[in-house]
Amino acid sequence: MSGVKRNVLNGKQKLEILQKLDNGESSASTDAEDVLNEGNTISHPAALQTVETLLEYMGQRGFDYRNITAVCKICADIRQEMNKQQKQRRITDFLKQ
């Protein structure tokens, strides 16, 4: 079980969508959704590292406590997903023996 798949935009796709937003084109959000449904994935550890870096940045820059709390919740959610994956692997490994 590979866990929950998360989709991402590459740099070129982000730029194209931002340009459409700057030009006031309403199709930009639909374009983003279409690209995100193409199947690019990020691992849980990579996502956790990125969110933890964001959390450090927010702390250094004095972001609002509510926003920092929301990012902390995201970290907790990612760790929970990682733990579920690990437990599933242990069960699968046990059953293979």
Domain ranges for the chain: 11-96
**pTM of the complete model:** 0.54
Do residues 32 and 9 touch, judged by C-beta distance below 8 A?
yes
Helix (H, G, I), strand (E, B) or coil at 50: helix
Q: How far apart are CA 94 and CA 80, in angstroms?
A: 21
Do residues 45 and 82 touch, judged by C-beta distance below 8 A?
yes
At 14, list the tokens. Answer: 């982000």
Do residues 58 and 67 touch, judged by C-beta distance below 8 A?
yes
97 residues of the chain, pLDDT tens digit each: 444 444 555 666 666 666 666 666 655 455 555 555 455 677 888 888 988 999 999 999 999 999 999 999 999 999 999 999 888 888 888 888 7
